[in-house]
A and B are shown apart, each in its own frame.
Chain A
Amino acid sequence: MTRTVAELLEVWEPVIGLEVHVQLATKTKAFSASAVGFGEPPNSLTDPVVLGLPGSLPVFNAAALELALRLGIATGSQIRTRSRFARKHYFYPDQPKGYQISQYDEPLCEHGHVDLILGCAVKRVRLTRIHLEEDAGKNTHVGAVSHVDLNRAGVPLVEVVSEPELTSAEEAAEFMRSLHRLVRWIEISEADMEKGQLRCDANVSIRPRGDHRLGTRTELKNINSFRHVQNAIDHEIARQLRIVSAGGQIERETRLWDAEAGQSASLRSKEEANDYRYFPDPDLPPLVVDSAMMANILRALPELPAARFERYQRMHGISPDDARTLVSDRSFAEYFDAACAAHPGEGSGRTIANWMLTELLGALNAEAKQLSQARMSPGMLSALVGLVENGTISGKIGKEIFAECYATGDPPLAIVLRRGVQQISDEGVLREIVERVVTAHPKQAEGFAAGKDGLFGFFVGAVMKETQGRANPILTSDLLHKRLGR
């Protein structure tokens, strides 16, 4: 009898570790002054170092160190004050020196973590290490001919290696999303997956639930979008479950994910695995990080997504869903914080979040615009919320003011004054209007007095019509009740 994947997962637990490569957004390459770019003519972004010409030597680009340290500090890693570059040897045409400059037994960062926001909770995933290395070039195969483009060769990368403690493809995808958000948040990479600036290999194994030993793992390579992460890992888990449920054994191997075909194929077995012959690169002195550099980076680091997610709930009573949306992009969080900071009153965070998430983001989404393109500044949103809160305008008018402010970028108060739409909260003025409306509609007044509750809305509508919607609704309601006798 064949059991479904869902049934098998009751017995078996998937264990996933990710190795994510992130291109660092430096102007020049990791070990030479050659420019970094995308979409340039093949082999135009090269120099003797990138081409691995005889006699060329690498010199480390300090800008890459600064970016890597930002990630190290943002992930709470232990930073090695003296790390080393090592050579990782393998023959392939995209690797011009016959080795990749990487880090091996003395990586820059160890024992950090990435915080995933899963539903209402933050899950902390531990990192084994983060190390610096250089990217390889690209080979393309046209019929029987292979072309090598070394424009990407030598671009600085960090490799982020997680502990094997992700337990589903969804979690793995969320890890990728969280890391993607984090590296953009701290501005070390554009992390554009379509440009290969964020790439992922996954180590997948399964073990009987309750078992603490790791099963034999396979390594999935070439996973280049969030969707592919999930599909590829789900596919691999199912493949492994099928094998073990048929009494087979998982083989240690490297598999290549083919996103179009939706399947993976074996690339090489353990026996064929490279011996990379790592050794410290004698061309490069130890990489030294001093405490002043660390202090500067720490000082300049923005408040991170997970911390903000928790603070928004704690300080402003914002729902986990709204808090998650607010930290989905650093520009959202900063807009929100700026609006809150501009607001005179406390405890308005929820209102501000509501306006921002429903009205502002809604309007921007409708136009496919970014928050940075909004004419309405955080101060204006704050001012608008203030005008509604202090009763200058009604919530309904507020939406109209919002629309004009959004369109023009004019300050909300100026729009209110120009339009003359301040709310009428003067009791004397409203009482006269109520009197006039009730007197003019004796039948309806009688009907309401006789118990026809629905007629109350008729009177409210009539008052709003008289005032072009400016009547304070609460006061109007109070006065109508008094005048109508119930």
Chain B
Amino acid sequence: MTAAFWTVAETARQIATGQITASRLVDATLARIATVDRELGAFLDVDEAGARATAHELDRKRTAGEPLGPLAGVPIALKDNLVTKGIPTTAGSQILVGWIPPYDATVVEKLRAAGAVIVGKTNLDEFGMGSSTERSSFKQTRNPWDASRVPGGSSGGSAAAVAAGLCAASLGTDTGGSIRQPAAFTGVVGLKPTYGRVSRWGVVAFASSLDQVGPLARTVADAALLLEVISGHDPRDATSLAAPVPRYTAALAGGVAGLKVGLPREFFDGHGSGTIDADVRAALDRTIAMLRDQGAELVEVSLPHTPLALAAYYIVAPAEASSNLARYDGVRYGKRAEASDLLDLYRKTRGAGFGPEVKRRIMLGTYALRSGYYDAYYKKAQQVRALIKRDFEQAFTQVDVLLTPTTPTAAFRFGAKATPLDMYLGDIFTLSCNLAGLPGLSVPCGLTSEGLPIGAQLLGKPLDEATLLRVGAVIEREVGLGDRRPGAIA
């Protein structure tokens, strides 16, 4: 059915004008999920009753002539590390099985207030720790472009659901690339906002100083609309920024004439970046040429500390994770193991509840924070972080936006990353953005010879999401996927 691939704006317009009722759209969406998701595996939980109730209420409002929000009736999926009142929230982990949150995340409140219909919770790498969604403790999520390949991660379920038309858009979280990388792998738009732009209240924490919620959508305009809805200061998050929220949707049409687009040398030359796949490189070259044709000025810049980013990230993120995950002790919520005493309770609950990747990172982080090692690891990593941030500040004195590949390769096959380090290296282009707290956008910019989507990444100045979206809109229009839809699962 066509409605499955309507844009967010189109969906909201169809509902507002009564072309289709919210209830009918929800029924169609749920039916499509029931068929497609059996093979796709994007959802961990589909909230049929909740979605129908919301839609019913929207239809009543529309009939009564009450005002409808900008997302009225739009089916939205949420990564399952976003806390939802009354809907199970697992963060992809066995340890949270059975927990029904008593509250909504701020982003969920905002979506609901805008009229969105929450259709369900999507699969992810456990606690967001992974880049393929293979680390989910529940199920595999496939890439709708090629069922033998991963959708990326950790927001793999959210990306696959959008790509396969199981919802109009979704929210993910991005700690080191977890929105942008799966967006690139599944041919959708993924935006990681500036740190603090979107509230983290109700986001199951992985690494507090890096985590940020953002939209995954089929168009840049949809991403802009969602960002507009979920952004803003939140008194419940002390790291949230007070800056007013601009009309991101109004900033899309500007074009790139006269804009300075930086190409960070270190992201292209293999230093600390590994090898870029030839098809990815070619797609980036076409994008660069196109932007020049459109009137942008392409400037080579240097971010000299880029080769240190991966190492710094894998100190900071696990250190914070080891602390954030200390609360899962089986005492108050989630799974509790049968145990003989307190120590036994901790050992068994955490031993059985966490998967191997989570345990690996807890061990890494615990090691890094040990008494006497803090200076050598966490503090040093934070110093590197400051240098990386300064690199970006320096670059942004010369250019308005940076362009890089989102990932070195297109989506890989299940099991292709044999060691954790192989997996970590795939995030080489995305994680410095989180370390610096900057906004990053991944936009499809073509397909590989095997027909897999390729993502172009735009990195911007703090709070300059508008410029990213503006450039992204040009890439989408000129070298985007157009009407090409994933064919493997539908």
Contacts and interface: CB of A to CB of B under 8 A. Distances in A.
B332 A96 contact: yes
Contacts of A97: 326-327
Nearest to A54: B204
Interface in A314-373: none
B371 A277 contact: yes
A97 B325 CA distance: 8
B386 interface: no
B354 interface: no
A275 B208 contact: no
A52 B332 contact: yes
A93 B332 CA distance: 9
B369 A148 contact: no
B280 interface: no
B333 interface: yes
Interface in B174-214: 200-205, 207-209
Given A93-B329, A99-B326, A148-B331, A55 B105 contact: yes
Interface in A130-189: 146, 148
B360 interface: no
A99 B105 CA distance: 22
Interface stretch (B131-139, B232-240, B251-259): B232-240
Given A48-B103, A275-B371, A283 B239 contact: yes
Given A54-B205, A89-B326, A283-B208, A59 B235 contact: yes
Contacts of B200: 55, 57
Contacts of B105: 55
Given A57-B201, A99-B326, A275-B370, A91 B237 contact: no
A55 B101 contact: yes
Nearest to A276: B371
Contacts of B203: 55
B96 interface: yes
A456 interface: no
A87 interface: yes
Contacts of A51: 332
A33 to B, nearest CB: 9
B102 interface: yes
B147 to A, nearest CB: 32
A44 B255 CA distance: 56
Contact of A60 (B238, B322, B333, B346): B238
Contact of B323 (A92, A93, A96, A279): A279
Contacts of B329: 91, 93, 98
B202 A89 contact: no
Interface residues of B, number: 44
A285 interface: yes
A56 B237 CA distance: 9
A303 B322 CA distance: 47
Contacts of A277: 322-323, 366, 369-371
B308 to A, nearest CB: 20
B311 to A, nearest CB: 18
Given A55-B205, A56-B201, A99 B238 contact: no
B107 to A, nearest CB: 11
A448 interface: no
Interface string A251-280: 000000000000000000000000111110
B399 interface: no
Contact of A53 (B91, B320, B333): B333
B434 interface: no
Interface in B221-247: 235-239
A385 B96 CA distance: 74
A149 to B, nearest CB: 12
Nearest to A97: B327
B6 interface: no
B154 to A, nearest CB: 16
B371 A282 contact: no
B49 interface: no
Contacts of B374: 278-279
Interface string A422-458: 0000000000000000000000000000000000000
B140 interface: no
B192 to A, nearest CB: 17
Interface of A: 48, 51-60, 87, 89, 91-93, 96-99, 146, 148, 275-279, 282-285
Given A55-B200, A93-B342, 6 more contacts: A54-B205, A55-B103, A57-B200, A59-B238, A98-B325, A279-B323
15 contacts: A48-B103, A51-B332, A52-B327, A54-B83, A55-B101, A55-B204, A57-B200, A57-B238, A60-B238, A98-B329, A146-B342, A278-B371, A279-B369, A282-B320, A283-B239
Interface of B: 82-83, 89, 91, 96, 99, 101-103, 105, 200-205, 207-209, 235-239, 319-320, 322-323, 325-329, 331-333, 342, 346, 366, 369-371, 374, 378
Q: What 7 A-B pairs have minimum CB-CB distances, sorted nearest first? A: A98-B326, A282-B209, A277-B369, A282-B208, A55-B83, A55-B202, A54-B204
